[in-house]
Amino acid sequence: MHSELLDRSYHFLNFLPSVSNFLIQKHKESELKVDEKGLYNLVTEADLKAESMILDEIQKNYPADGILSEERGKLEGKSGYTWVVDPLDGTTNYTHGLPLYGISVGVVETETMSPLLGMVFFPELNTYYHAIKGQGAFREKTQIQVSKTSALKDSLFVTGFPYDRNLSLDTLMQYYKSILQKSRGIRRTGAATLDLCWLAEGKFEGYYELGLKPWDMAAAGLIVLEAKGKITSMDGNDFSILIPSLLATNGLVHEYLLAEFEGKINRVAY
């Protein structure tokens, strides 16, 4: 298995810069075609083209693998591997001219949907992160680890808000207010993959969000785990990319945050 994952990792770490370059060039265009998939949920022509580039490369080189992607949905495979792809995480940032967006490509075990390989590129931040299960997490060629901060008052957190945020706005504000009062602060980047990768290299102590999708978590979630972080759902269940709530931390503040969410998860919306 390791050699198969290493081959896929090597191939895509060399291929994804071409997708990064495309997104950068497209971002410079004065008129970007934008459509609405739902309230607050945007898709651009750049999303669609970047996804086509990635999926075509997968199917050309690994035709037996399955694929789960944000825009095209699910394609079954026979190899036991499934690629989980978000061609442009942070589309709203992208449409507003912000550089905080990423390309997320992961490989999971098809039967369990457990992450095995993760690669996340941030084109305009000029960096990338990657991990193979059991082999550590890296920013480019440098191994990374989560922070060693253990006190809530010294911790910096990051969060995001789901597209259907109006269904759970009061709950979201309860979390935000309580954690903000007890910590050094809360940030919001607008890109889940960036939140997780920055957590993995110690910029944040914790990240939480409701309403996530598998492609938000598959690659960057593995990077956090391989950086010695801890991930569960927000109500303390085992990490799964199929559960749409996520709590990721350096492990040292995990129980503090679980206590914040106890009994308050909006199970109607999620």
Give me the count of residues in the chain. Answer: 270
d(CA 222, CA 200): 10
According to DSSP, the β-strands at 66-69 and 81-89 are: parallel
CB 159 within 8 A of CB 186: yes
86 labeled part of a ligand binding site: yes
Distances (CA, A) of 96 to 20, 31, 90, 124, 180: 18, 11, 10, 14, 27
What is the identity of the amino acid at 99? P
Tokens of 100: 């905080």
68 labeled part of a ligand binding site: no
5 labeled part of a ligand binding site: no
Q: What is the maximal distance between C-alpha atoms in the chain?
A: 51
φ and ψ at 42, to 5 degrees?
A: -110, 155
Tokens of 146: 């989560």
Q: Which residues are annotated as a binding site for Mg(2+)?
A: 70, 86, 88-89, 216
Q: Which residues are annotated as a binding site?
A: 70, 86, 88-89, 216
